[in-house]
Amino acid sequence: MADQDLVDAQPLKVKLPDEEDRMFLEVARATVGKVWVTGNRRYFPRKTRGEVTVLSPAEAWEVLSK
């Protein structure tokens, strides 16, 4: 785990369909790439994402394969 970075995730003041997923969006917003990969995109409505791009696993694979 030596190649991992810590992020300073700030609390969000948005309502999510599943509040237990809040921490994932907070961390994604604090990263340089601002990308979150999930199979549950519906839990991250566009209006709550800010600058974060939410990708399905298939979309992420397509991006990484280029």
Flag whether the pTM goes above 0.85.
no
pLDDT tens for each residue of 6-35? 889 999 999 999 999 999 999 999 998 999
| pLDDT greater than 80 at residue 3 | no
Q: How many CB atoms lie within 10 A of CB 43?
A: 18
CA dist 42 and 36 (Å) reads 13
Average pLDDT over all residues of the chain:
91
Integer Rg of the chain from CA: 12
**47 within 8 A of 25, measured Cβ to Cβ:** no
HSE-up of 15 (CA within 13 Å, CB side)?
0
pLDDT tens for each residue of 28-58? 999 989 999 999 989 999 999 999 999 999 9
Between CA 31 and CA 37, with CA 35 as vertex, the angle to 5 degrees is: 125
